[in-house]
Homo-oligomer: A and B are copies of this chain.
């Protein structure tokens, strides 16, 4: 169910673009900063500009929670549902806790916010991840090899000759993906690692983070990450996209369309051989 929704979102939009919502008050276009609900107003602007381009949206809850703007997050997700009913909503929350606490987090993500998936941290293991995978129409995006410098501290440590992140991916794919609703989060800043993960997991969907603002290279990312059918990755862009041209509708739409087209050109070139 989840896998089909993901597939059909990408096909319907003819796009692998995931639009990240990272609203920060200081960066907001000045005319929106004065609104009563500035993050919701900015969310509407982004969705209006990208509704037919985005296969998925990824709001990052940290920016809303820092300022007590949970209601603006919920309203933004409802607005995505109205304007882009086939797009997936991935709540970037990096959750990870156990037992009854994990259930509470899953309720927050799926019931309170109505998201389709959440980013989840693997460190606490199975009982912290499965609560996000029991609903066949919802899913989890498991942190695997992230795009930040600190990712090296533990994710790259060798366990029986292989890096920990590869072990996380293998364990998750083998034990936790019975409903085909598990994705891996991988940083665009590490295309070699991405290629290796693709070889090991030809059928998993990846959420690729760090294109744009964090310096990931799009072509190398795609040649490393696309699956045999020229799909299987969502390419997320947050800051480089939503603050394009100072955050005007035209600039946001232009940046999203350019990203979609660049990805699709690479897919077509690859399909041609």
Contact = CB atoms under 8 A, between A and B. Distances in A.
Interface stretch (A59-67, A81-89, A264-272): A59-67
B149 A126 contact: yes
A135 interface: no
Interface residues of A, number: 54
Interface in A87-132: 92, 94-102, 104-105, 107-108, 111-112, 121-129
A101 B146 contact: no
A122 B68 CA distance: 25
A155 interface: yes
B112 A65 contact: yes
A159 B38 CA distance: 47
A1 interface: no
A63 B101 contact: yes
Count of this chain's copies in the oligomeric assembly: 2
A152 interface: yes
A222 to B, nearest CB: 23
Interface string A125-158: 1111100000000000001001111111111011
A63 B106 CA distance: 11
A121 B93 CA distance: 12
A171 interface: yes
A97 B94 contact: yes
Contact of A123 (B60, B62, B154): B154
Interface in A27-58: none
A108 to B, nearest CB: 5
Contacts of A104: 24, 60, 62-63, 65-66
A128 B148 contact: yes
A72 interface: no
Contact of A70 (B22, B70, B102, B111): B70
Contact of A151 (B62, B125, B153): B125
B62 A108 contact: yes
Contacts of A98: 146-148, 150
Interface string A148-182: 11111111011110001001100100000000000
8 contacts: A62-B101, A65-B104, A96-B96, A98-B147, A125-B148, A125-B150, A125-B155, A159-B164
